[in-house]
């Protein structure tokens, strides 16, 4: 209980959060009703029962289906505001949020509808809750690089409100190098670059994310540990890894939290952070991720503080913010 209060009270920054993955079943039902959309579930309990995954693709199938209830600017606002209200309780002070524009444009919801509702909630979270945030637009890697270029084009009028680009969705078979040109274009436009790599994919995908995409931050990165040279490089470069323990458990990246590589990452000198990924689907927000990981790995108070600090120092905020926060 002492550890619980300590973890709960620490200020936190979340660096790996898909806003569409924070859609709680209750809101899914409310939006389905508001928009007269049929969903293949009879109750909130039925939705939660469907959240049993064997791998990333299992989850993604349900995740893309879940977002079908998001249609209007207000829907995106309500989704995003619900996330901020929830993590305000977890002492989250700053969030760098992913969104998946192609998950919406593919089903006829415009880029502008999705981003404007999300941004309005981000503004409200700053003024009403004191939580600062940024938006990172992800490309769906199971789609083509040409599709990613079209998405970057749609983002053009919004570039002053977009911090960076990311790469998510089905990893295996879609290596980072597939997107080398669109990431180069994004970087030319002054956008930060991040990518999911080494969640299910091999260490070679992490190397590609570094060498081809020239990422500023690595999302997941778990499988980097299979490659000692790569670990050394990540440590030397001071690369931040946005690790998501309850996600890894839910998607069978690890069989048991006690086998989670987070402690090994810290021991190897990697700048690891704790994040929730898709909290509605994976069973916990920031405090749950911190607490369950700390218990499973028997983390010390120093290690817990380091993880929280790494969230701020790994953010894209300036040095003054990074040190003031903790
Ligand atoms: C995701 Cl956990 C995860 N991995 C890859 N892509 C994603 N999109 C949403 N959650
Ligand atoms: Zn993710």
Q: Is the pLDDT of residue 74 over 90?
A: yes
Give the pLDDT score at 103.
98
For residue 70, being part of any structural domain is answered with no
Q: Which residues pair with 98 in a beta bridge?
A: 18, 136
Q: Residue 170 belongs to what domain range?
A: 2-24+76-324
Total count of domains within the chain = 1
Give the pLDDT score at 89.
98
Give the pLDDT score at 306.
98
The binding site for Zn(2+) comprises 16, 18, 196, 277
Give distance in angstroms: CA of 57 to centre of ligand 1: 9
| pLDDT tens-place string over residues 134-146 | 999 999 999 999 9
For residue 49, being part of any structural domain is answered with no
Reported as a pLDDT band with limits 50, 70 and 90, residue 326 is low
Say if CB 124 and CB 43 are below 8 A apart: no
For residue 44, being part of any structural domain is answered with no
Give the pLDDT score at 2.
86
Give distance in angstroms: CA of 136 to centre of ligand 2: 12
Tell me what ipTM this predicted complex has: 0.97
Average pLDDT, integer, range 24-33? 97
For residue 39, being part of any structural domain is answered with no
Decide: 309 in ligand 1 pocket, CB within 6 A. no
Give the pLDDT score at 228.
98
Say if CB 291 and CB 10 are below 8 A apart: no
For residue 71, being part of any structural domain is answered with no
Reported as a pLDDT band with limits 50, 70 and 90, residue 40 is very high
CA distance 322 to 104: 33
| pLDDT tens-place string over residues 145-198 | 999 999 999 999 999 999 999 999 999 999 999 999 999 999 999 999 999 999
Reported as a pLDDT band with limits 50, 70 and 90, residue 62 is very high
Residue of 248, 278, 282, 283 to test ligand 1 pocket, by largest number of atoms within 8 Å of CB: 278
For residue 32, being part of any structural domain is answered with no
Q: What CATH number did the domain enclosing 91 receive?
A: 3.20.20.140
Whose Cα sits closest to atom 1 in ligand 1?
A: 169
Q: Is the pLDDT of residue 321 over 70?
A: yes
DSSP assignment of 171-230 equals -TT--GGGGHHHHHHHHHTT-EEEEEESSSS-HHHHHHHHHTS--SEEEE-GGGGG-HHH
Q: Which residues pair with 275 in a beta bridge?
A: none
The binding site for substrate comprises 278
For residue 46, being part of any structural domain is answered with no
| pLDDT tens-place string over residues 305-314 | 999 999 999 9
- Tell me the pLDDT of the chain averaged across its residues: 97
- % of the chain at pLDDT higher than 70: 99
Only one residue has tokens 């977890």, namely 90
| pLDDT tens-place string over residues 269-287 | 999 999 999 999 999 999 9
| pLDDT tens-place string over residues 75-107 | 999 999 999 999 999 999 999 999 999 999 999
- Stated pTM of the model: 0.98
Q: Is 4 a catalytic residue?
A: no
Q: Is the pLDDT of residue 257 over 80?
A: yes
Give distance in angstroms: CA of 247 to centre of ligand 1: 9
CA-199 nearest atom, ligand 1: 4
**3-state class (DSSP) for residue 1:** coil
Give the pLDDT score at 324.
74
Say if CB 289 and CB 250 are below 8 A apart: no
For residue 42, being part of any structural domain is answered with no
Decide: 56 in ligand 1 pocket, CB within 6 A. yes
Query: Which protein residues have a CB closer than 5 Å to ligand 2 (ion)?
Result: 277
Annotated catalytic residue, options 199, 200, 303, 317:
199
């Amino acid at each position: 209980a002492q550890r619980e209060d300590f973890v709960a009270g620490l200020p936190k920054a979340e660096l790996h959060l898909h806003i569409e993955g924070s859609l709680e079943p209750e809101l899914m039902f409310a939006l389905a009703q508001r928009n007269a959309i049929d969903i293949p579930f009879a109750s909130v309990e039925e939705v939660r029962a469907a959240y049993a995954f064997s791998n990333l693709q299992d989850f993604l199938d349900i995740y893309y289906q879940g977002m079908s209830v998001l249609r209007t600017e207000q829907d995106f606002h309500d989704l995003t505001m619900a996330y901020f209200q929830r993590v305000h309780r977890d002492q989250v002070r700053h969030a760098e949020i992913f969104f998946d524009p192609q998950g919406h444009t593919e089903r006829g919801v415009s880029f502008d509808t999705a981003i404007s509702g999300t941004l309005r909630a981000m503004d409200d979270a700053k003024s009403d809750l004191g939580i600062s945030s940024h938006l990172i637009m992800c490309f769906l890697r199971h789609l083509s690089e040409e599709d990613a270029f079209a998405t970057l084009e749609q983002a053009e009028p919004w570039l002053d409100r977009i911090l960076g680009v990311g790469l998510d969705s089905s990893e295996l078979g879609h290596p980072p190098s597939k997107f080398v040109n669109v990431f180069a274009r994004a970087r030319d436009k002054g956008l930060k670059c991040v990518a999911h790599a080494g969640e299910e994919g091999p260490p070679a995908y992490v190397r590609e994310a570094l060498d081809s995409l020239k990422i500023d931050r690595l999302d997941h990165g778990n499988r980097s540990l299979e490659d000692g040279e790569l670990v050394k490089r990540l440590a030397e470069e001071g690369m931040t890894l946005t690790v998501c323990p309850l996600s890894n458990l839910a998607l069978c990246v690890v069989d048991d939290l006690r086998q989670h590589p987070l402690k090994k990452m810290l021991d190897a000198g990697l700048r690891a952070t704790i994040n929730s990924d898709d909290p509605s689907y994976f069973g916990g927000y920031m405090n749950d991720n911190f607490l369950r990981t700390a218990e499973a790995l028997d983390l010390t108070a120093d290690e817990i503080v380091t993880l929280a600090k790494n969230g701020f120092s790994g953010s894209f905020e300036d040095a003054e913010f990074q040190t003031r926060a903790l």
